[in-house]
Structure 1
Amino acid sequence: MAQSNPKVIINHTGMRRGELLGLKWSNIDFNKKRIYVTHLLYYVSGQGLVLQSPKTSSGNRNISITDEIIDELQSYKLKKQEQLLKVGMKLNDEHFIISSFGGEPLNPNTIHKQFLYDVKLAGVKRIRFHDLRHTHATIMLEIGENPKVVSERLGHSNVSITLNKYSHVTPNLQDSSAENFTKALSHSHSKQ
């Protein structure tokens, strides 16, 4: 992941496009390894870019990230600082992470076009930006992550939304659950 760009947080967090675009450097706690989702950025016809708070309390959340993601974000931040210093500007915590050269927010349509270009360049089947969110949730559930934790990461108001939306993963969870129960039962009998 030496490319040093913020794209890495897309796959690793399950965040919505508006949430990603609303992230400022102040929303990253590098020490606690957390991203704080506090705003969404939208384009509204006639108004332009609008920054607003999440619609629900569950949308206002924090997402745990790994050391690898922290390193990537720190490297990207350093790169942005160096770029701005060359033109006499200074990066601050209120600059948007995914931004124009000067730290200003980007239009969601710009990100959408860039995403489609990246997908085409990668030579993979065309997908929607939102499909990355679905991929994150599906993988989390398939590796056995607690559905409540997945629900919290996605900002769903309750776990039933997550389970209903990702019910296609349930058969895989059922299989591993049955195997895990048998192993646990065998283990508890062997202790007796």
Structure 2
Amino acid sequence: MASYSVAKRPNGRWRARFRGPDGRERSRHFDRKVDADRWARTQVGRIDRGEWTDPSRGRITIGEYAPEWLATKVRIRPSTRLMYDVLIRNQILPTWEKTRLDAVRYEDVSVWVAKLHDGGLSAARTRHAWIVLSQILDLAVRAKRIPNNQAKGVELPALPSKSERDKVRFLDEREVWHLAEAAGDGALTILVLAWCGLRFGELAALRCGSLDPVKRELRITWTLSETGGKQIEGPPKTESSIRTVPLPAWLCDRLMALTTGRQAVDYLFTAARGGPIRTGNWRTRVFDPAVKRSGLASQVKGDMLRPHDLRHTCASLHIKHGTPPKVLSEMLGHASVAITLDRYGHLYPGDVHLYVDRLGEVALAARADFLRTSGTSGTPEGAGRALEIASDLRKQVLGAVAQSVRAEDS
């Protein structure tokens, strides 16, 4: 157990002393004995609990320590590393660059988070910036530079609710073709996104060799992402996103024509001046003008169609035409069918009566067969009772299915 001493100096002040885990003696002077005793007891208490840190190690600034933290992130994708670097430069360093690790205070972090969000930064981006700062401080705690992380527990801006996230735009079949027609030379990118459900980064990373015309499939193995104006090619966001996506025959033929005379390593879709397409340029030059020309949206706040809505459109059309959730989940590259049902489950209830009616018809046929073979089907009483039983059965099935759908949505 660590010990300390408090002694009065010739000048009348009180000196508190203790020996740290590193063997070095440390001291501080106070005007009052009670303050000296309190400080010394706090230091030895931290030593006994394994929480003591050398004050000199916390004097490094956030600007100096952030690169050390980033260097420890050895298992992240290049695009994620670039995103962290941008967050550090644009959101963290303008406020914290000259601040020492041991000078970060909870209330200052709270004010910083509020200013970021009030300044127009989205809730998600504000949270990302806070996460990076908090992880920098977490590393400092583990490295025994500071005793605790002052960013923990800070109130963060709320993310959009599930009901708000569900307010996405789904196009019907005719609207997809209308949008593609309005896109001119960019029509094929619209059709692949809407009928195959690819993420834009997956579309941009497609090579001519990604197309298998025999199996009528696209092989998704890479994605292109943009951060800070740079394009980074890497693996898709999850292991399940590495997949094959089946193609309608007519779409496969169009893509085959696009690969004629080109190498397998060439990008399938290219920008006007060569190289892979970029989401910002594609949206400005192809997507937004096509949306406006087709009259699907004005592309102003409150009336917008996003490129990612084409992925949602693909899911909604598959659900509309009876594609099983498990098959749809694999096509979209979701990690599990639960993600698919959580995201698109609200599109299923409209068809519940169709499924119930099918099962109800089977139930009535089975009941009629039972009554006929039991010899009661010829009596009015038996027929009436059969109808009552069938009606009750239909109500029970309808209730059970509706309850199941509600459970999936919740």
The 5-angstrom pairing of residues 127-142 of structure 1 reads 127-142=305-320
Matched, 1:60 2:60: no
Q: Which runs of 5+ in 1 are unaligned?
A: 82-90
**What letter corresponds to residue 270 of structure 2 in structure 1?**
S
1:168 and 1:95, CA in 2 relative to 1: closer, same or farther beyond 3 A?
same
In 2 relative to 1, CA 77–187 (structure 1 residues): closer, same or farther, beyond 3 Å?
Answer: farther
Whether contact under 8 Å (2:325, 2:340) holds in the other structure is yes
In the comparison of the two structures, how many residue pairs are matched? 180
* Preserved contact between residue 142 and residue 172 of structure 1 (Cα < 8 Å): no
Name the structure 1 match of 2:358. 180
Q: 2:296 maps to what in 1?
A: 124
Shift of residue 124, structure 1, vs aligned partner: 1.4
Q: CA deviation at 1:157?
A: 0.4
TM-score between the two structures when normalised by the length of structure 2:
0.41
CA distance in 2, matches of 1:95, 1:70: 17
Query: Is the counterpart of residue 27 in structure 1 residue 205 in structure 2?
Result: no
Instruction: Decide whether aligned partners of structure 1 residues 112 and 132 sit closer, same or farther in structure 2, where only a CA change above 3 A counts.
Output: same
- C-alpha RMSD of matched pairs (Å): 2.4
The one-letter amino acid paired with 1:98 is: F
**Aligned to 2:241, what secondary structure does the other structure show?**
coil
1:129-168 to 2 correspondences below 5 Å: 129-168=307-346
Kindly indicate whether residue 215 of structure 2 is the aligned counterpart of residue 44 of structure 1: no
CA distances 1:9-62 after superposition (whole Å, capped 9, x unpaired): 11110111111111111111001000111011111216x111110121110011
- Matched with 2:128 is none
The AA in structure 2 aligned to 1:92 is Q
Higher relative contact order (CA 8 A, sep 6+): 1
Q: Deviations for 1:62-96, whole angstroms, at most 9, x for unmatched residues? A: 11111111111122333xx4xxxxxxxxx211111
The CA distance in 2 between the partners of 1:111 and 1:172, in whole Å, is 35
DSSP-derived class of the 2:232 partner: strand
Query: Residue by residue, what CA displacement relative to the aligned partner does 1:110-168 show, whole Å, maximum 9, x if unpaired?
Result: 12212111111212123111111111111111222100111111111001111111122
The CA distance in 2 between the partners of 1:38 and 1:144, in whole Å, is 27
**Distance in 2, Cα, partners of 1:117 & 1:153:** 29
1:104 aligns with 2:275: yes
More helix by share: 2
**Contact preservation (8 Å) 2:271, 2:278:** no
Tell me whether 1:12 sits opposite 2:195 in the alignment: yes
Match of 2:165 in 1: none
CA distance in 2, matches of 1:172, 1:101: 43
